[in-house]
């Protein structure tokens, strides 16, 4: 501590102060990094400690550009270019040639089935396998036959997905609670998705809605759950449902609400993307 | 006091509204946040303003109620009827009647008087009552005898007069309004607060502008940059501080009021603490304002009497026969009487009808002999000549209480030399002896000695009238004086003085050790003034005046080196002839100064002289003429009992008990509050950094916002208020009355060290602790620290509802926002927890907390519990109110910052240890605030 009581010199003073702050902030930075490291040690790299803020899952759509709105001119290919490329980019991972490695991918059948539990959430058994999802299931919305996903014809496709939540097992809905349209294609291993007009008066403007999904089921099959996380399933393919609006009224705003149904899928007034979303179509004929 | 910060907050509010306007026009989704923020900021400014106003008004109200306590009534003849009217309803032309003891309700011209005397001391400074008559004697209204002035008192007699001036147009009113013209600078604390506001505002503006530029050059939108600027301003401005300062000052004011110092202007509380010179009155402030017998001379010997306020016996030797004779004269030759009905009161507290000397003698006799009235009744008075200025004696003739002794006793008192002239014998040890030149010499010596002590001396003599010449039926005629008034027997001398209050010498020596110079300014005679100054210690026992030195060295006064004399007694006449430089020289060269025979106007000159020396001057005064000096002084102190309303109005403080010692307590409180305000400000400033850093890091690293603007307001105006007030209750660390008054230009309230230590040491440590909590909350919810960097734009996008975290999970916007609020809450909680540590370390600036005692100031603990209580209510009670941005928080997050709180405490203890260990060192210079 002798340096503390050295005689004060005009030059020594600023140097001492500088030195002091270097040491002081050095120590603080060390303490900060140290405590953060210690904190990280208590956090597993495979699963988050808490999920109360992220669950229940949100329902989102592709394409996603700026706002939840799809607005284009049928005759102008530039006006829907971003939607198309957005869809194309998203579906790239779903192409058949991306799912060839059998060490990662597993064929989970063509019809909805039971959850696929893949053991504990750690890498003792190495990475977990991932269910294949065939792009062809999306039919008209797969982009295989129609690279503009129906936009060219004014019949836009959107993809609906349930937000990934690690370890989350959505439960299929109980029959009675479902709207009749959904009941028609009921399957005990399916989380159905249904889109309907947001407002009553839009009921006649929405036209026909086509759903494409695994084996033709309009929903998410349970064998894709639970999700094991980025580290254990880096190439996880979340199940999709494609929704095509084949007869939308042009030149008018149409609001559509898409909902996923399940016992542990909830809706909230504050979070309008929880278990459902609404999207606005504004298709101009010219 | 509010100035600077309010403007900053108004700017913040204006920015909020502007950005609301822009966002609203653009149709953004949640523009109302900014509208609310603007409203809240405006509310904060308005409420602090109202609060400060209310506090000021409250202390002014004390004053108003104080003057209303004695409503003045006047006896008016209107419509041929006598009426009691409040004095303020008088009009010019009213006829009022006045009797002894009344305060004169307006300026009046007298049309009828009977033995009327008025006490003009509050107006002119003359201490002797002046007689009034109906005669016009002088052109000058102040000199003429037929005018009585508003607010002076009628001492005796009755009078009737016509009102010629009322209210502000009275002579007194004019002087009082003159006083309001005397410039009154800012109080020292106002200057300090202003300096502090500049400092903080400077930091706020420069960081704000700097980061505005940074954010613009980092390609943030201008609108976003403006919103950042608002956040930075809100984080930097200690919104609650001015309210806290006001509360602390008024708490001290309250405490001082309990100790008889009534503070009119809150800021004056601290001014007293910075005082370096006190110009004190003598009468009533230093002294008891009551003539008291101090010495006796009989049997050729001087005896001292007890002059304390609560005397019940007198200790001097009372066995001599001479004393018996003397006490009889004192008792009988006296017209003063106690007002009836005060038998249960101590003698010294009883009210007496009579003049000052007679009162003194009466009380003295009552204390020594017991029931004076009974003695007088037993010695019936048969004739009396009252004192008058031509005779300069008072005489009365009594029967004796000895039934066998049929002689009459003639007793006389008066000016000693006149009494001695009439005597041919002198009583020594009860025996009459001829008054030879040797005994006359002894008398002279004693008279000089008593006179030299500044005391008023009276001589006493008596004569038993021979029975044969003066039988029971003898008709005494006081006009023709058919009885002997010479060849009497001299008995003794009594000397009286207005003695110092017993608490004053101690108070003066306290002032001296506190580095405060006490100057006595009085209208009294220099000898009396000097005697009192010596007895209270204003002139210490060892120091000499120039005159004393000349006397000791036996050289003429001119040849003495003036610089060697520490004391000086300056006569008003001398002062009149002095130039300003000469006055400065006197004030500079002598540490112990008494100004005697000064007029109240000269007081102003003296005050200005002291202020030229750079001193903070406190002035005491009671008269109307003192009011300009009271106003001019840095702190004017008026006397609550003797003081005139004009003096009380001009003063910043009122001494309810007129006691000098109360000023010293005031000084102590003032110094304490200055120290404690330092602590409060240091405490308040610290967390500003912990509130500011989130914004800076948010802008630079683009992490999700760690703390919201509303949350900051909840810290500044919620959790932190009571703790910072609690610091005002902190006891002094060392004897604050043993150090010099602070140097106005050097010892700032907020100095560089305080700002640096609060901002760059503790503040940064707090930020680190709060950030650790923030990162912990996010990491445990799925966002590891590395994931958070640079996410701001996507994080805040409303369109992205599948935002990916470190585990590949996807979050909707609302889920993220809710997590962000949890982050706010966690950040808030950690700042609160660390502010507890900050509060504890701020208890002392130099001493260890353990020296100061952790539990001595209970209010601190009230502060700590309130802080944690408010935080609990906000997180768990109001956690579901969306607009407040609080969410319930997992209990363990309350403890993440605890190690950092402990670190802060330990660090500060180390700092204090080094300061104590190595005084004057580099560390001491940079780390002591």
Instruction: Report the pLDDT averaged over residues B662-682.
Output: 90
What tens digit of pLDDT does each residue of A52-82 get? 888 789 999 988 877 778 889 988 889 889 9
A4 pLDDT band (50/70/90 cuts)? very low
User: Given this model, what pLDDT does residue B597 score?
Assistant: 84
What would the mean pLDDT of B808-826 be, rounded to a whole number? 93
pLDDT at A10 over 70: no
For residue B138, how far is the Cα from the chain centroid? 41
Long-range contacts, stretch B746-752, CB < 8 angstroms, 24+ apart: B748/B192, B748/B195, B749/B189, B749/B192, B749/B193, B749/B195, B749/B196, B749/B674, B749/B677, B749/B678, B749/B681, B750/B192, B750/B195, B750/B196, B750/B199, B750/B678, B750/B681, B750/B685, B751/B929
Alpha-carbon gap: B908 to the closest alpha carbon of chain A (Å): 13
Tallying the residues shown for chain B, one arrives at: 929
**B423 within 8 A of B435, measured Cβ to Cβ:** yes
Task: Count CA atoms within 13 Å of residue B589 on its CB side.
Answer: 17
Which of A169-173, B602-606, B692-696 has the weakest average pLDDT?
Answer: B602-606
Whether residue B63 is predicted with pLDDT greater than 60 in this model: the reply is no
Kindly report the nearest CA distance between residue A275 and chain B, in angstroms.
10
Rounded-to-integer distance, Cα B771 and Cα A31, Å = 12
Q: Do B814 and A271 touch (CB under 8 A)?
A: yes
Banded model confidence at residue A6, pLDDT cuts 50, 70, 90 = very low
Q: Is residue B392 predicted with pLDDT exceeding 50? A: yes
Residues of B in contact with A227 (CB under 8 A): 808-809
pLDDT band for position B179 (50/70/90)?
A: low
Average pLDDT estimate for B673-697 = 92
Q: Over chain A, what is the mean pLDDT? A: 87
Q: Which two tokens stand for residue B864?
A: 């700590």
Listed range (A34-43, B83-92, B184-193, B789-798) with the worst mean pLDDT:
B184-193
Per-residue pLDDT tens over the stretch A134-173: 898 988 888 888 888 989 888 999 999 999 999 999 998 8
CA dihedral over A17, A19, A25, A27, signed as positive or negative: negative
> How much is the pLDDT for B191?
86
Predicted confidence (pLDDT) at residue B787 exceeds the cutoff of 70: yes
What tens digit of pLDDT does each residue of B519-578 get? 999 888 888 888 889 989 999 888 888 888 888 888 887 788 777 788 888 988 888 888
Q: Which has more pLDDT, A198 or A36?
A: A36
Q: How far is CA B749 from CA B242, B501, B677, B746, in A?
A: 14, 35, 8, 9
Please report the pLDDT score of residue B61 as a whole number: 55
pLDDT of B266 strictly over 50: yes
pLDDT greater than 80 at residue A39:
yes
Q: What is the DSSP string of B60-72?
A: HHHHHHHHHTS--
Q: Give the CA angle between residues B708, B712, B717 to the nearest 5°.
A: 150
d(CA B556, CA B564) in angstroms, rounded, equals: 15
> Mean pLDDT over residues B256-280, rounded?
87
Give the ipTM of the model, two decimals please. Answer: 0.92
Mean pLDDT of B856-867: 92
B175 or B126, higher pLDDT:
B175
Virtual CA dihedral for B444, B447, B452, B455, nearest 10 degrees?
Answer: -170
d(CA B120, CA B139): 18
User: Hey, which residues 149-208 in chain A have their CB within 8 Å of chain B?
Assistant: 161, 163-166
C-alpha B566, offset from chain centre: 28
Q: In whole angstroms, what is the distance from residue B530 CA to residue B517 CA?
A: 16
pLDDT band for position B756 (50/70/90)?
very high
Round to whole Å and give the CA distance between B444 and B446. 5
pLDDT at residue B184, as a whole number? 61
Q: A209: distance to nearest CA of chain B, Å?
A: 24
Neighbours of B431 (CB within 10 A): 10
For residue B573, what pLDDT is reported? 85
pLDDT at B1: 44
Calculate the CA B892 to chain-centre distance.
50
- Left if phi > 0, otherwise alpha if psi is -120 to 50, otherwise beta: which for B325? alpha
Q: Does pLDDT of A133 surpass 80?
A: yes
Alpha carbon distances (Å) from B29 to A267, B673, B814, B834? 20, 50, 13, 36
Q: What is the pLDDT of residue A22?
A: 96
Q: Among all residues of chain A, which has the CA nearest to that of B907?
A: A24
- Partners of residue B815 in chain A, C-beta under 8 Å: 53-54, 58, 271, 274
* pLDDT reading at B225 higher than 90: no
Cα gap B765→B754, rounded to integer Å: 15
Q: pLDDT averaged over chain B?
A: 86
**Which of the following is catalytic: B107, B119, B281, B652?**
B281
Query: B683: how many CB neighbours lie within 10 A of its CB?
Result: 27
Residue A166: list chain B partners with CB under 8 A: 807-809
Whether residue B816 has a cis bond before it, omega within 30° of 0? no
**B173-182, B306-315, B358-367: range with lowest mean pLDDT:** B173-182
Q: What is the mean pLDDT of residues B903-912?
A: 95
Which among B765, B819, B925 has the least Cβ separation from residue A28?
A: B765
Q: Computed over its alpha carbons, how large is the radius of gyration of chain B? A: 37
User: Do residues B877 and B813 touch, judged by C-beta distance below 8 A?
Assistant: no
Q: How many CA atoms lie within 13 A of B924 on its CB side?
A: 15
| Residues 6+ away with beta carbon under 8 Å from B377 | none
Confidence (pLDDT) at A2: 45
**Cβ contact B42:B35 at 8 Å:** no
Return the structure tokens found at B532.
Answer: 């009192």
Mean pLDDT across A33-43:
94
Residues 761-800 of B with CB under 8 A from A: 761, 764-765, 768, 771-772, 775-776, 779-782, 784-785, 798-800
Would you say residue B58 has pLDDT above 80?
no
Q: How far apart are CA A138 and CA A242, in angstroms?
A: 6
Find the range with the poorest average confidence among A4-18, B160-174, B308-322, B829-843.
Answer: A4-18
User: What average pLDDT score do residues B842-846 get?
Assistant: 92
* Contact call for residues B568 and B545 (beta carbons, < 8 A): yes
Contact A40 B779 (CB under 8 A): yes
* H runs (alpha helix) in B702-762: 709-714, 721-726, 752-756
Question: Do B702 and B787 contact (CB within 8 A), yes or no?
Answer: no
Nearest to B907 by CA among B840, B852, B831, B859: B840
The answer to whether the Cβ–Cβ distance between B808 and A271 falls below 8 Å is: no
> For residues B120-143, b (16+ Cβ closer than 10 Å) or e, as one string?
bbbbbbeeebbebbeeeeeeeeee
Coil vs helix vs strand at B571: strand
Q: Which of residues 902-921 of B touch A (CB under 8 A)?
A: 903, 914, 918, 921
A13, A28, A35: residue with CB nearest B764: A28
**pLDDT at residue B314, rounded to an integer:** 80
* Cross-chain Cβ contact A4/B899 below 8 Å: no
Decide which of A132 and B24 is more confident. Answer: A132
Q: What is the pTM for the complete model shown?
A: 0.82
Query: How far is residue B793's CA from residue B836's CA, in Å, rounded to a whole number?
Result: 35
* pLDDT (mean) for A256-261: 92
């Amino acid at each position: 501590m002798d340096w503390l009581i050295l005689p004060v010199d005009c030059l020594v003073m600023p140097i001492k102060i500088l030195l002091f702050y270097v040491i002081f902030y050095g120590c603080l930075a060390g303490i900060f990094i140290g405590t953060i490291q210690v904190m990280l040690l208590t956090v597993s790299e495979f699963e988050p400690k808490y999920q109360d803020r992220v669950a229940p899952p949100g329902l989102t759509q592709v394409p996603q550009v700026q706002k939840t709105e799809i607005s284009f001119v049928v005759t102008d290919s530039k006006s829907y270019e971003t939607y198309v490329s957005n869809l194309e980019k998203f579906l790239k991972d779903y192409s058949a040639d991306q799912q060839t490695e059998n060490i990662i991918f597993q064929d989970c059948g063509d019809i909805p089935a039971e959850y696929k539990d893949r053991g504990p959430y750690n890498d003792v058994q190495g990475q977990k396998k991932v269910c294949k999802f065939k792009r062809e299931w999306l039919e008209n919305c797969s982009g295989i036959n129609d690279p503009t996903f129906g936009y060219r014809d004014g019949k836009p496709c959107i993809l609906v997905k349930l937000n990934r939540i690690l370890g989350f097992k959505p439960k299929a809905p109980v029959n009675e609670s479902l709207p009749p349209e959904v009941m028609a294609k009921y399957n005990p291993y399916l989380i159905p998705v249904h889109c309907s007009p947001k407002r009553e008066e839009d009921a006649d403007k929405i036209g026909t809605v086509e759903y494409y999904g695994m084996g033709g089921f309009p929903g998410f099959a349970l064998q894709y759950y639970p999700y094991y996380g980025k580290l254990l399933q880096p190439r996880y393919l979340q199940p999709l449902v494609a929704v095509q609006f084949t007869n939308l009224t042009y030149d008018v705003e149409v609001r559509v609400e898409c909902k996923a149904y399940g016992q542990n899928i909830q809706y909230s007034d504050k979070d309008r993307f929880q278990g459902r979303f609404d999207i606005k179509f504004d298709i101009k004929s010219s | 006091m509010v100035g600077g910060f309010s403007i900053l907050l108004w700017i913040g509010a204006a920015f909020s509204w502007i950005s609301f306007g822009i966002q609203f026009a653009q149709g953004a989704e949640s523009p109302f946040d900014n509208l609310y923020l603007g409203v809240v900021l405006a509310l904060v400014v308005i409420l602090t303003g109202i609060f400060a106003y209310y506090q000021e008004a409250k202390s002014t109200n004390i004053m108003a109620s104080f003057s209303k306590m004695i409503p003045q009534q006047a006896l008016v003849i209107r419509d041929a009827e006598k009426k009691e009217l409040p004095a303020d309803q008088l009009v010019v032309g009213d006829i009022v009647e006045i009797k002894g003891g009344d305060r004169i309700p307006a300026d009046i011209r007298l049309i009828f008087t009977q033995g009327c005397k008025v006490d003009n001391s509050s107006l002119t400074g003359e201490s002797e009552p002046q007689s009034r008559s109906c005669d016009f004697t002088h052109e000058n209204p102040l000199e003429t005898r037929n005018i009585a002035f508003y607010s002076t008192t009628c001492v005796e007699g009755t009078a009737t007069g016509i009102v010629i001036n009322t209210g502000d147009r009275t002579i007194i009113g004019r002087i009082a309004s003159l006083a309001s013209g005397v410039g009154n600078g800012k109080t020292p604390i106002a200057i300090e607060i202003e300096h502090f506001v500049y400092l903080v505002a400077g930091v706020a503006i420069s960081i704000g502008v700097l980061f505005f530029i940074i954010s613009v050059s980092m390609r943030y939108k201008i609108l976003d940059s403006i919103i950042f600027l608002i956040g930075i301003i809100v984080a930097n401005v200690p919104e609650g501080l001015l309210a806290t300062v006001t509360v602390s000052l008024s708490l001290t004011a309250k405490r001082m009021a309990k100790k008889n110092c009534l503070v009119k202007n809150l800021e004056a509380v601290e001014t007293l603490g910075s005082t370096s010179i006190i110009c004190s009155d003598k009468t009533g402030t230093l002294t008891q304002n009551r003539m008291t017998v101090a010495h006796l001379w009989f049997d050729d010997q001087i005896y001292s009497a007890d002059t304390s306020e609560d005397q019940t016996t007198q200790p001097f030797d009372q066995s001599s026969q001479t004393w018996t004779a003397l006490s009889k004269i004192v008792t009988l030759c006296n017209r003063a009487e106690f007002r009836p009905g005060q038998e249960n009161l101590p003698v010294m507290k009883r009210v007496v009808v009579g003049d000052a000397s007679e009162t003194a003698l009466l009380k003295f006799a009552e204390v020594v002999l017991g029931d004076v009235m009974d003695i007088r009744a037993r010695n019936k008075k048969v004739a009396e000549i009252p004192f008058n200025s031509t005779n300069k004696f008072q005489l009365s003739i009594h029967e004796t209480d000895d039934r066998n002794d049929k002689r009459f006793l003639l007793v006389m008192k008066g000016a000693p030399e006149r009494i001695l002239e009439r005597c041919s014998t002198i009583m020594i040890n009860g025996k009459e002896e001829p008054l030879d030149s040797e005994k006359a010499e002894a008398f002279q010596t004693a008279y000089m000695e008593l006179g030299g002590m500044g005391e008023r001396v009276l001589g006493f003599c008596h004569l038993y009238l021979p029975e044969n010449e003066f039988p029971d039926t003898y008709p005494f005629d006081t006009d023709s004086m058919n009885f002997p008034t010479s060849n009497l027997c001299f008995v003794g001398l009594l000397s009286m003085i207005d003695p110092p209050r017993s608490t004053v010498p101690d108070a003066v020596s306290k002032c001296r050790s506190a580095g405060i110079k006490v100057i006595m300014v009085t209208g009294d005679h220099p000898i009396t003034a000097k005697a009192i100054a010596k007895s209270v210690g204003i002139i210490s026992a060892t120091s000499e005046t120039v005159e004393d030195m000349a006397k000791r060295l036996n050289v003429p006064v001119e040849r003495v080196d003036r610089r060697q004399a520490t004391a000086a007694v300056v006569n008003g006449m001398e002062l009149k002839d002095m130039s300003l430089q000469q006055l400065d020289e006197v004030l500079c060269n002598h540490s112990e100064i008494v100004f005697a025979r000064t007029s109240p106007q000269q007081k102003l000159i003296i005050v200005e002289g002291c202020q030229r020396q750079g001193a903070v001057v406190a002035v005491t005064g009671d008269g109307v003429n003192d009011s300009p000096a009271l106003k001019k002084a840095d702190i004017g102190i008026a006397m609550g009992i003797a003081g005139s309303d004009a003096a009380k109005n001009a003063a910043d403080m009122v001494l309810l008990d007129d006691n000098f010692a109360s000023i010293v307590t005031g000084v102590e409180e003032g110094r304490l509050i200055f120290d404690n305000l330092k602590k409060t400000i240091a405490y308040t400033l610290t967390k500003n950094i912990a509130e500011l850093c989130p914004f800076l890091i948010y802008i630079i690293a683009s992490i999700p916002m760690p703390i919201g603007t509303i949350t900051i307001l909840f810290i500044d105006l919620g959790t932190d208020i009571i703790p910072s007030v609690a610091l005002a209750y902190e006891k002094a660390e060392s004897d604050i009355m043993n150090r010099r008054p602070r140097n106005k230009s050097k010892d700032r309230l907020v100095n560089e060290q305080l700002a640096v230590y609060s901002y760059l040491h503790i503040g940064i440590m707090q930020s680190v602790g709060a950030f650790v909590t923030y990162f912990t909350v996010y990491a445990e919810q799925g966002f590891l620290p590395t994931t958070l960097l640079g996410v701001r734009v996507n994080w805040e996008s409303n369109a992205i509802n599948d935002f990916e975290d470190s585990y590949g999970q996807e979050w909707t916007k609302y889920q993220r926002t809710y997590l962000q609020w949890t982050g706010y809450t966690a950040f808030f909680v950690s700042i609160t927890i660390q502010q507890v540590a900050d509060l504890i370390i701020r208890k002392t600036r130099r001493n260890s907390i353990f020296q100061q005692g952790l539990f001595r100031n209970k209010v601190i603990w009230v502060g700590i519990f309130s802080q944690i209580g408010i935080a609990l209510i906000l997180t768990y009670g109001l956690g579901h109110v969306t607009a407040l941005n609080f969410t319930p928080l997992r209990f363990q997050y309350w403890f993440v910052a605890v190690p950092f709180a402990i670190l802060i405490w330990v660090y500060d203890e180390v700092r204090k240890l080094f300061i104590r260990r190595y005084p004057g060192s580099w560390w001491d210079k940079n780390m002591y605030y």
